[in-house]
Amino acid sequence: MEGQTNNPRQEQENEIDRPKGCLNFFFHPLGTGHRFVALFFMCFLSFGSYFCYDNPAALQNQMKTNLNLTELQYTSLYSVYSWPNVVLNIVGGFLIDRVFGIRLGSNIYVGLALLGQIIFATSVLFNQYWLMLVARFIFGIGAESLTVAQNNYAVLWFKGKELNMVFGLQLSFARVGSTVNFLVMESLYNRVTKGLPSESGQYILGVVLFIAATTCLISWICSIILGIFDKRVETIVGRSNNVQGETVKLTDVKNFKLTFWLVCLICVTFYCAIFPFITIAKDFFQKRFNVTSQEANDLTSIVYVISGVSSPILGLFIDKVGMNIFWIMVGTTGTIVAHVLLGFFTTLPPILPIIIMGVAYSILASSLWPLVSLIIPDYQLGTAYGVAGSVQNLGLALFSIFTGLIVDHLGYVAIEIFFICSLIVALISTIFLWILDRSGDKSLNMTAGGRSRLQLLPSDRDVLINAEAAPSSSDLEPNTDFQIRNRYLSRIGAPLPSAYDVDTKIIF
């Protein structure tokens, strides 16, 4: 509306003459559809790493049998993935901010993920457990740091626009990778077995894992293409990846706000009730619900199928509605309900709690990660997402070990109680985050309309934040038709009578 003050950056973009034609619409940096073409490649950055991450879970029975792995050795394949990223994820984010840049960093990290998967396939082929751990270590360094780069790309291209939807869509594509893994890996193993009937089980596992590595190669190609897109935007439009001109330092971490650390705590306590569960889900469903091996894989994949379909839709919904903290509470509560049903109501069909878990997981992921970009300045985002990833990986590394130990010694009811307790901590942390936000600028749980007003000039920001808390404030009284007309006449250069100016709302 004419009477409203627009984001200066948005006004500048609107003043640029956008190129004509269908091809320019999609492939010229000034084309409206250009960033959505880039989003396609952005989403596939982590497709390969998520597909390969859960290869052991999809082939859990085959790996334990053919490689003679104990439950602890098996879960350690996930733990060793997470341990290096307790520290290296921070370094990976810092290197993106300070040394590599987002384009080179993405290419390096997806290359490490591909290298790790190739080494893992080789180690399985020759049944060398120590090399399996080394391979998952390397794979983890690349895959987790790649997620940091992907988050940076999302904020760089979509901040202030459809960011919740973009995070949801990226999650969707990542979960498509995990879903396809659960749906095809066992069938692929059976097909390779028929094609190589004289070969040992470990040899067949190695061949299957080599085939899985091609998904990381696809992600690498997408990273190169996305880097070309980003470079063209920087060259043609003159966009800088650090518009504030600030230099990031690792010591900046100590100045991060308490709200950021609460987001990290919510992240680790929530995700540790999802991913460690998925690593044992196949055996869990077979023993607790008496289903077949393929049915167990299908049930496990439902979490990823639902998140793959619903995440972009829910993300777009949260973009329109706002109130991110409220939706985090909804997601956490829903996951608690799902684990209670799985742990204590085995007479119910397991598909019901799994559907609840998939929807709740999508809601939380779509609403949680964008909060980091609202708390941390743009030039520190790589480091911030790296820190969040490090905290998450510390939790996953510990929980993977605890999961194996608890299942081995106490059983599946005990592990469900463990997951429920972790989620209760996440819910309490979310409530505390909401309290802190209410006592501050209220931006984290603000409605979409209120958040869009934060894009105004800094001098107007405090007034508008207070206005959302007290909508009746006269400072935000709606513009009258008379005032809108005056502003329009002023903008087109028409003279106004001396009795009033553009801010006059009525004639007295």
- Among the candidates 425, 445, 465, a domain finishes at 445
485 and 393 within one domain = no
Domain range spanning residue 507? 478-508
495 and 369 within one domain = no
320 and 219 within one domain = yes
Looking at the domain assignment, is residue 454 inside a domain? no
332 and 243 within one domain = yes
Q: Could you list the mean pLDDT of each consecutive 10-residue stretch along the chain, which spans 508 residues?
A: 41 50 55 72 84 86 85 81 71 71 86 93 90 91 82 74 70 76 86 83 89 92 87 70 51 78 91 85 85 81 78 78 89 94 87 91 84 78 76 80 83 90 94 89 74 53 46 44 48 48 45
Q: Which pLDDT does position 97 carry in this prediction?
A: 67
256 and 134 within one domain = yes
Q: Which pLDDT does position 187 carry in this prediction?
A: 86
d(CA 339, CA 497): 69
Looking at the domain assignment, is residue 465 inside a domain? no
Tell me, rounded to whole angstroms, the distance of Cα 504 from its chain centroid.
47
- Among the candidates 445, 469, 491, a domain finishes at 445
Q: Which pLDDT does position 428 carry in this prediction?
A: 95
Looking at the domain assignment, is residue 473 inside a domain? no
Looking at the domain assignment, is residue 279 inside a domain? yes
Q: Which pLDDT does position 429 carry in this prediction?
A: 94
- Among the candidates 422, 445, 468, a domain finishes at 445
341 and 199 within one domain = yes
- Using a 10 angstrom Cβ sphere, with 0-12 exposed, 13-18 middle and 19 or more buried, the burial of residue 193 is middle
Rg (CA), the chain: 25
Provide φ and ψ at 4, rounded to 5°: -90, 150
Looking at the domain assignment, is residue 364 inside a domain? yes
Looking at the domain assignment, is residue 500 inside a domain? yes
Q: Give the Å distances, CA to CA, from 2 to 272, 431, 474, 478, 504.
A: 49, 39, 19, 12, 14
Q: Which pLDDT does position 213 carry in this prediction?
A: 92
Q: Give the Å distances, CA to CA, from 307 to 151, 166, 341, 426.
A: 18, 13, 19, 20
391 and 499 within one domain = no
Domain CATH for 296: 1.20.1250.20
Looking at the domain assignment, is residue 13 inside a domain? no
362 and 483 within one domain = no
206 and 59 within one domain = yes
Q: Which pLDDT does position 64 carry in this prediction?
A: 85
Structural domains counted in the chain = 2
Which two three-digit tokens encode residue 81?
A: 């993935």
182 and 304 in contact (C-beta within 8 Å)? yes
Over the range 87-124, which residues count as b (16 or more CB within 10 Å of their CB) and which as e?
ebbbbbbbbbbbebbbbebbbbbbbbbbbbbbbbbbbb
47 and 218 in contact (C-beta within 8 Å)? yes
285 and 291 in contact (C-beta within 8 Å)? yes
